[in-house]
Chain A
Amino acid sequence: MRALIIDDSSVMRKVIERALRQSGLDLTEVVEASNGEEALEALRKDAGSPQKIGLIISDINMPVMDGLQFLEARRDQQLAAGVPVVMITTEGSEPFVLRAIAAGAQGYICKPFTAEQVKARVMPLIEAA
């Protein structure tokens, strides 16, 4: 599976990738983006790919375009429709969670997190997709 990980911290992108691999996910490639704008561009390029991105993990607080703006733009532009999106963020308050879900996020994990929490939220979405 190919996954798109969006976070302005390169360290956190690596930490999330490691947690996904520890969850048992067979990742063939990880596409990295440091903000929502880069992520949208990655999804546009991915549209013609034979093996499409099958999972999107996104932070919320990012410069240029944040995670919620990314979700809304992705929905409006109909990019990667049906691909599970899980937010991993420090923003755990209800308004953020509700807005993320309304914009298409299926999972929500608050930082700090454990690999077990990532597995519990992500794997059911992958199996159902």
Chain B
Amino acid sequence: MAASQAKQPEWIARLDSAVFEVFEMMLARNCSPAEIADAIAPCISARILFSGVIDGECVLFASESVARATAEALLGIPSEPGDPMAGDAIGELCNMIAGGWKSKLGSDEAGCAISPPSIATHDGTIEVNAHEGIRRFYSFEGHVFGVHMNF
């Protein structure tokens, strides 16, 4: 854990870089860090597991409306409420961010495996004030989502 904590500033910078790269290349949108939120409204989350040299997880969470905005940006077509593509878009966004973050590690650590994303929907708000790991919020066109990484 101590080694992980020592690496946190570097890992945060890599996470920011991975998020910005995904939005620029895949969504053609600018994305920037946002104020920390205490909770996210009824939402969708996607979880990727790291295993091997690094054990941990990357969780991306967003409201349903932000998930639909993400699907619209990826696909270039409107997304209506209840669109199943919205959850899929959050899963793929998490997958690309986790993969991009991993690719920016040193060659030894980049050898860890990542799982396919598992997607979940939540009826109530998700408390996001976890005490461990990296927690960052980002905004694109006024849509805020969070990324939590824990090792």
The interface residues of chain A, by DSSP majority, are classed as: loop
> What 0/1 readout, one digit per residue, does chain B (93-125) give for beta carbons within 8 Å of chain A?
001101110110001001100111100000000
Complex contact A112–B91 (CB within 8 A): no
For residues 50 through 83 of chain B, which have their beta carbon under 8 Å from a beta carbon of chain A?
71, 74-76
Q: Given the complex, which residues of A lie within 8 Å of B96, measured CB to CB?
A: 90, 111-112
Q: How many residues on A have C-beta within 8 angstroms of the other chain's C-beta atoms?
A: 23
User: How many B residues are at the interface, by size bracket?
Assistant: 20 to 34
Q: Given the complex, which residues of A lie within 8 Å of B115, measured CB to CB?
A: 61
B36 at interface by CB-CB < 8 Å: no
For residues 1 through 44 of chain A, which have their beta carbon under 8 Å from a beta carbon of chain B?
8-12, 14-15, 18
Which of A47-55, A70-78, A79-87, A91-99 lies at the interface with chain B?
A91-99
Q: Given the complex, which residues of B lie within 8 Å of A10, measured CB to CB?
A: 84-85, 88
Complex contact B88–A11 (CB within 8 A): yes
Which of B7-15, B20-28, B142-150 lies at the interface with chain A?
B20-28
Complex contact A113–B26 (CB within 8 A): yes
A62 at interface by CB-CB < 8 Å: yes
Shortest C-beta distance, A87 to chain B (Å), equals 13
Complex contact B95–A111 (CB within 8 A): yes
> What 0/1 readout, one digit per residue, does chain A (88-129) give for beta carbons within 8 Å of chain B?
011111110000000000000011111000000000000000
Query: Of B22, B74, B89, B110, which contacts A93 at CB under 8 A?
Result: B110
Query: Of B85, B102, B103, B111, which contacts A11 at CB under 8 A?
Result: B85
Complex contact A8–B116 (CB within 8 A): yes
- Chain B's closest residue to A115 (CB) is B25
Which B residues lie at the A interface, using CB under 8 A? 21-22, 25-26, 71, 74-76, 84-85, 88-89, 91-92, 95-96, 98-100, 102-103, 107, 110-111, 114-117
Interface CB pairs A-B, < 8 A, 6: A10-B85, A11-B88, A90-B98, A95-B111, A111-B100, A112-B25
Which 6 A-B pairs have CB atoms at the shortest separation, nearest pair first?
A90-B99, A112-B25, A9-B92, A11-B88, A112-B26, A112-B22
